[in-house]
Amino acid sequence: MNSKKIFLLPVIISFIGHAALISASGVIDLRANVKSPEHFMVKIAEPQPEGEQRKEEEKPQAEHKEQKKEQTKPLPSDGREDTVEIGSSDIKYAAYLAGVKKKIMRLWSYPAGAYKNSEEGEVVLRMSVDADGSLAAIELVASSGSEHLDSGTIGTVQAAAPFEPLPSLYNLSRLHIVASFHYRMRD
């Protein structure tokens, strides 16, 4: 009888300890000290002839600000939204984020222009997905420094859309997903 107690006691203590750690990790927000990066809106359009591109570059800055506002669909007045990283281990979002990541990964490849020029970098995007799964907006959070990598990444996310509708248990009108894309050349 004593041998059963010897084995049972550590199991019970371990179970209680793990339960306490799991409940404490759900209460503590470890992201509280993380600074929010500056956001940039980017619109990728069909290539234009060189003459038209130069004309757009000459437009005043005020017109560019107006274009940014048009790119994002308005959020319904009663809508709720949340922001999460694509690699989040939050149980609430894990399955949905895995589906989004899988859909993007199927289409993601090294942009040809960047590969040809041996360009490397990291692109960080914030994509906004509406409740119906449609892509409401894409923001370039951190540029790689390469136009090929930035536009290639945005194009991949746009091609992967629409995504699955947001599960009703989220009770959200829009989910913002922050994702990092690393591009490295191998020797």
pLDDT at 39 over 60: no
Given pLDDT bands bounded at 50, 70 and 90, which one contains residue 2? confident
- DSSP 8-state code for residue 155: H
pLDDT at 97 over 70: yes
The tokens of 55 are what? 């004309």
In this prediction, residue 74 carries a pLDDT of 64
pLDDT tens-digit readout, 106-153: 998 889 898 899 899 999 999 999 999 999 999 999 999 999 999 999
Residue of higher predicted confidence among 187 and 14:
14
- Measured from the Cβ of residue 123, the count of other Cβ atoms closer than 10 Å reads 24
DSSP calls for 3-16: HHHHHHHHHHHHHH
Q: What residues contact 50, with CB distance under 8 A and at least 6 apart?
A: none
Half-sphere exposure (CA, 13 Å, Cβ side) for 7? 3
One-letter identity of residue 167 = P
- Measured from the Cβ of residue 152, the count of other Cβ atoms closer than 10 Å reads 23
In this prediction, residue 73 carries a pLDDT of 65
In this prediction, residue 151 carries a pLDDT of 93
Average pLDDT, the chain: 77
Q: Which of the residue ranges 2-16, 25-39, 97-111 would you say has the lowest mean pLDDT?
A: 25-39
Q: Is the pTM of this model over 0.85?
A: no
pLDDT at 59 over 50: no
Strands 121-130 and 174-183: antiparallel
Say how far apart CA 62 and CA 166 lie, in whole Å.
Answer: 35
The tokens of 82 are what? 């949340």
Structural domains of the chain in order of their starting residue, each with its CATH number: 40-183 (3.30.2420.10)
Say how far apart CA 80 and CA 96 lie, in whole Å.
Answer: 17
pLDDT at 60 over 60: no
In this prediction, residue 138 carries a pLDDT of 94
Mean of pLDDT values over 30-38: 50
